[in-house]
């Protein structure tokens, strides 16, 4: 009896250790993705890290159902996006956006100012898109995700992702044309 | 721009440049402490349910203790029915029964309630309106016996003579001055209503 109980507890401990190890692997693989997704919405480093940490904490609670790598990344990305959008909506009026333009080419003050203005216009255009188009554009820009990867992450058919990406680009072009400085 | 309208070359170049800018803007890494912070938050979440249940248990135990205290205290308060019993007890004290007279000195509430329930004769209730007269029953019996004795026996003359010899002869009544009492004269009623002229 004691041997059986000892064996069972040993199995449970091993299972916990396995889960912990797998979670550590997922954390290493997906930390940057979660942070960038949050940053793409919030454009504030501290807020983005906070949201990504929250998403990981939620993922840990459901990790027994999210042990598959692709499934975990998709779930984490969607959770991060949702949390970031919620934070962005609640903080939109009071938080000044971080305007980080770290470009190697923008050496002079004038170039920095120009690239900062361009980035501001770009974010403004992206913020003006509907959420379902916005997420496709931001995710496509992160790590150069292709249509298939986007479809897997968003849990959507590839055709839907393609059409949404097209509509997002059209909307972006229209907004940028309107926001472009008159010469 | 309509949904079906195609993008021209300028738009395509502009969007491509925007996407390149976006890719560059999003090429940002989390801080080195990010993973450690995630681990801390995960462990906080893991411990928080235990804390919540701990507080819940503490609150439950406190509520139970309060409930027990309230329930245990309720019988000690004097309800209306028992107050009536106290009135009965004072009525019992009015009767001439020695047991009940002795019980009037008891002071604890629970003790007196028990006594009142035990010694509540119907006669006590009928005496509620009479004034309080406490007479020793032995004295009552002695008085009664003396009255009966006086009623049945004749007075003893020798006892009176003996009493007179003990006291002695009374002194004669001496009037030092004769009484000088003025004569009472009755006058007719005053016509002027008593006014002096």
Q: Is the CB of residue A27 less than 8 Å from the CB of residue B41?
A: no
CB contact at 8 A, A38 and A47: yes
Max avg pLDDT among A133-142, B40-49, B157-166: A133-142
Instruction: Tell whether the model's pLDDT for residue B98 goes beyond 80.
Output: no
The pLDDT, as a whole number, for residue A63 is 82
Cβ separation B26–A36 shorter than 8 A: yes
Average pLDDT over residues A94-121: 68
CA distances from A178 to A121, A164, A167, B6, B90 (A): 10, 21, 17, 18, 102
Tens digits of residue pLDDT in B110-133: 444 444 445 555 554 555 556 677
pLDDT computed for residue B182 by the predictor = 77
Q: Do A49 and B14 touch (CB under 8 A)?
A: no
Residue B69 has pLDDT above 80, yes or no: yes
Instruction: Find chain A residues with C-beta within 8 A of B5's C-beta.
Output: 170
Question: How far is A93 from A141, CA to CA, in rounded Å?
Answer: 26
What's the gap between Cα B174 and its chain centre? 72
Rounded distance between C-alpha atoms, residue A120 and residue A107, angstroms: 18
Q: What is the mean pLDDT of residues B127-152?
A: 81
Contact A31, B34 (CB under 8 A): yes
**To the nearest whole angstrom, how far is the Cα of A23 from the nearest Cα of chain B?**
10
Residue B178 confidence class, pLDDT cut points 50, 70, 90:
low
CATH number for region A104-183: 1.10.10.10
Write down the pLDDT at residue B43.
Answer: 83
In tens, the pLDDT along A48-75 reads 999 999 999 998 888 877 777 778 889 9
User: Are A174 and A121 spatial neighbours (Cβ–Cβ below 8 Å)?
Assistant: no
CB contact under 8 A, A177 and B31: no
Return d(Cα A134, Cα B26) in angstroms, integer: 14
Q: Please give the pLDDT value at position A13.
A: 45
Chain A contact probe: residue of B7, B10, B15, B36 with most A CBs at under 10 A: B15
Rounded to whole angstroms, the Cα distance separating B17 from B12 reads 9
Task: Give the model's pLDDT for residue A70.
Answer: 77
Q: What is the pLDDT of residue A10?
A: 44
| Token pair of A166 as six digits | 């097209």
Q: Rounded to whole angstroms, how far apart are CA atoms A51 and A49?
A: 5
pLDDT of A130 higher than 70: yes
- Asked if B41 and A32 come within 8 Å (Cβ–Cβ), the reply is no
Domain boundaries, chain A: 1-96, 104-183
- pLDDT higher than threshold 90 for residue A34: yes
CB contact under 8 A, B28 and A100: yes
Residue A105 contacts B, CB cutoff 8 Å: no
Indicate the pTM of the whole model: 0.54
Nearest by CB to A57, from B3, B28, B42: name it.
B42
Question: Which of A7-16, A39-48, B167-176 is least confident?
Answer: A7-16
d(CA B81, CA B66): 27
The answer to whether B18 faces chain A, any CB pair under 8 Å, is yes
CATH number of A1-96: 1.10.1740.10
B114 touches chain A (CB under 8 A): no
CA distance A48 to A39: 5
Predicted-assembly ipTM surpassing the 0.85 threshold:
no
B16 HSE (CA, 13 A, CB side): 7
pLDDT at A6: 46
Nearest to B91 by CA among B134, B113, B121: B121
* Closest Cβ–Cβ partner in B7, B25, B29 for A173: B7
pLDDT average, residue stretch A87-113: 66
Return the structure tokens found at A137.
């554009």
Contacts of B30 in chain A (CB under 8 A): 31-32, 35, 48-49, 52
Q: What is the mean pLDDT of chain A?
A: 81
Write the CB contacts of A116 (distance below 8 Å, at least 6 apart in sequence): A99, A101
pLDDT higher than 60, residue A2: no
Crossing angle for the helix pair A2-42 and B34-73, to the nearest 10 degrees:
120
Q: Is B35 on the interface with A (CB under 8 A)?
A: yes
User: Residue A178, CB half-sphere, CA atoms under 13 Å: how many?
Assistant: 10
Model confidence band, residue B45 (pLDDT cutoffs 50, 70, 90): confident
**Model confidence band, residue A9 (pLDDT cutoffs 50, 70, 90):** very low
Q: Is the dihedral of CA A134, A135, A136, A138 positive or negative?
A: positive
Query: How much of chain A, in percent, has pLDDT values that exceed 70?
Result: 81
Segment B94-111 shows an average pLDDT of 47
């Amino acid at each position: 009896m004691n041997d059986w109980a000892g064996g069972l507890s040993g199995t449970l401990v091993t299972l916990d250790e396995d889960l912990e190890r797998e979670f550590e692997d997922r954390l290493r693989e997906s930390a940057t993705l979660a942070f960038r997704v949050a940053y793409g919405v919030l454009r504030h480093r501290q807020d983005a890290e906070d949201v990504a940490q929250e998403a990981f904490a939620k993922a840990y609670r459901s990790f027994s159902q999210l042990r598959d790598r692709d499934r975990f990344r998709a779930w984490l990305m969607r959770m991060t996006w949702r949390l970031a959008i919620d934070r962005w909506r609640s903080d939109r009026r009071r938080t000044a956006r971080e305007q980080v333009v770290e470009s190697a080419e923008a050496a002079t003050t004038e170039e920095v100012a120009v690239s900062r203005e361009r980035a501001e216009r770009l974010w403004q255009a992206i913020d003006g898109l509907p959420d379902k188009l916005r997420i496709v554009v931001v995710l496509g820009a992160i790590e150069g995700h292709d249509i298939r990867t986007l479809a897997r992450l968003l849990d959507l058919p590839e055709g839907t992702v393609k059409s949404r990406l097209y509509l997002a680009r059209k909307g972006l072009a229209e907004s940028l044309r309107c926001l472009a400085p008159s010469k | 721009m309509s949904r079906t309208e195609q993008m021209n070359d300028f738009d395509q170049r502009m969007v491509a440049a925007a996407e390149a800018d976006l890719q560059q803007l999003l090429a940002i890494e989390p801080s080195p402490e990010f993973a450690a912070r995630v681990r801390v938050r995960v462990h906080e979440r893991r411990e928080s349910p235990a804390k919540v249940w701990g507080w819940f248990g503490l609150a439950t135990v406190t509520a139970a203790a309060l409930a027990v205290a309230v329930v245990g205290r309720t019988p000690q308060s004097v309800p209306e029915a028992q107050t009536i019993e106290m009135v009965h007890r004072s009525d019992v004290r009015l009767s001439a029964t020695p047991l009940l007279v002795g019980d009037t000195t008891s002071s604890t509430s629970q003790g007196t309630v028990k006594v009142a329930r035990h010694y509540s004769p119907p006669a006590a209730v009928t005496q509620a309106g009479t004034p309080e007269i406490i007479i020793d029953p032995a004295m009552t019996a002695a008085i009664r016996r003396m009255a009966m004795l006086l009623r049945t026996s004749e007075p003893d003359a020798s006892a009176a003579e003996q009493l007179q010899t003990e006291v002695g002869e009374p002194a004669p009544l001496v009037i030092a001055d004769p009484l000088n009492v003025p004569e009472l004269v009755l006058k007719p009623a005053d016509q002027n209503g008593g006014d002096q002229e």
